Amino acid sequence: MILQSVKLKGYKKSISNFWNQYSESRMGLLGVAILLFFVLVSVFAEVLAPYPIGAREGDRGAILKPPSGKYVLGTDELGRDLLSILIHGGRVSLTIGFLATLVTAMIGTFVGVTAGYFGGKTEEILMRFTDVLLVIPGLPLMIVLASIMGATFWNIILVIGIRGWTGTARVLRAQVLSLKEKPFVESAKAIGASDARIIGRHILPNVLPLIVAQMVLRIGSSILSASSLSFLGLGDPTHLSWGMTLHYAFGVGSLFSNFYWYLVPPGVCIALVVLAFSFVGYAFDQIVNPRIRRR
């Protein structure tokens, strides 16, 4: 009990330390603000959206109408309010991005920790496999996997996750390699702790900040990957994400008929969210990465 509370205090202190450093970065704060905005809008989508989007049919009299007082961002080919679609789309895009990144973190952690901790043949095979995956161009691989597995909500998450874990695995392996030599791991080994216990008790808690940092760096590209797949028709039509909205916008010929109100907002939202994650990742890096700090 006592040990645990000490540990908790240690975490709290390091988090407040981290925040003190982090809040010095204007880019980082801006990133957090943008993300907070989009997360809040997504959470309260039902309340904020002026029209419900559940209905398949919209306003028959207002098909593909430019922005007006009634429909602030115009309407789509079914006469639905695009602002409402945008607000709900954020929820889908953020969820897909987050879950896919969670998958990358889980696979990456498993591979990286296993390779780093056990070493030898296990390490060689795992890292060789990582290298192979790194060489295969990402989007084409995701396209193939998604069209083979079928482009459902969960499959898309899985496909992005399958592609994205390599970086995390490499970083974690390196970290675990150095942790393995630390006295507290060696003493745990000496008193006969099992591998599972050492990994669960000593390795994982110590690499957790690194996993979080990796997730922040990855999540933007997960969202971008999902939108590229959607654009190519490999999105779940029952989940209207920003990427899916863009897919339909291209599909109805927005380019040639100048339906700018259909085409512009979802892209701006994707770019803003990804940018915000880049800002946060950049600020993170300034603190975590000692090489940059030195300069």
Give the interface with other proteins as residue ranges (CB under 8 A).
Answer: 27, 132, 135-141, 143-145, 147-150, 220, 224, 227-228, 231-234, 243, 246, 250, 254-256, 258, 260, 263-264, 266-267, 270-275, 278-279, 282, 295
Q: With respect to other proteins, which residue has the nearer C-beta, 185 or 244?
A: 244
Minimum CB separation of residue 280 from other proteins in Å reads: 11
Total residues belonging to the chain:
295
**How far is residue 26's CA from residue 54's CA, in Å, rounded to a whole number?**
39
Write down the least CB distance from residue 74 to other proteins, Å: 15
Give the nearest distance from C-beta 77 to other proteins in angstroms: 17
User: Cβ 121 to other proteins, closest distance in Å?
Assistant: 17
With tokens 């407040």, the residue in question is 16
Taking the CA atoms of residue 69, residue 75, residue 80 and residue 83 in that order, the dihedral angle to the nearest 10 degrees is -70
In the bound state with other proteins, the residue whose beta carbon lies nearer, of 35 and 176, is: 35
Task: Choose between 198 and 270: whose C-beta lies nearer to other proteins.
Answer: 270
Phi, psi of 151 (to 5 degrees): -85, 70
What pairs with residue 75 in β-bridges?
A: 81
Closest CA to 212 of 180, 177, 172, 170: 172
Residue nearer to other proteins on the CB measure, 109 or 166: 166
Choice between 40 and 136, CB closer to other proteins: 136
**Residue 81 pairs with which residues in a beta bridge?**
75
Q: How far is the CB of 275 from other proteins (least distance, A)?
A: 4
Q: What is the nearest approach in angstroms of other proteins to the Cβ of residue 48?
A: 24
Residue 128 CB, shortest distance to other proteins, in Å, is: 9
Of the candidates 22, 110, 82, which has an alpha carbon nearest to the alpha carbon of residue 249?
Answer: 82
Of 150 and 205, CB closest to other proteins: 150
Residue 93 tokens, joined = 């895009």
Sign of CA dihedral 70, 71, 73, 77: negative
Q: Which is nearer to other proteins, 110 or 282 (CB)?
A: 282
Task: Cite the DSSP H helix spans in the chain.
Answer: 2-22, 26-43, 45-48, 82-118, 120-135, 138-149, 153-164, 166-180, 183-190, 195-198, 204-231, 242-251, 254-257, 260-288, 290-294
Please say whether the beta carbons of 178 and 186 come within 8 A: no
| Closest among 242, 247, 251 to 272, alpha carbons compared | 242
Question: CB-wise, 141 or 204, nearer to other proteins?
Answer: 141
Nearest to 36 by CA among 279, 264, 285: 279
Smallest gap from Cβ 212 to other proteins, in A, equals 20
List the structure tokens of 4: 């645990």
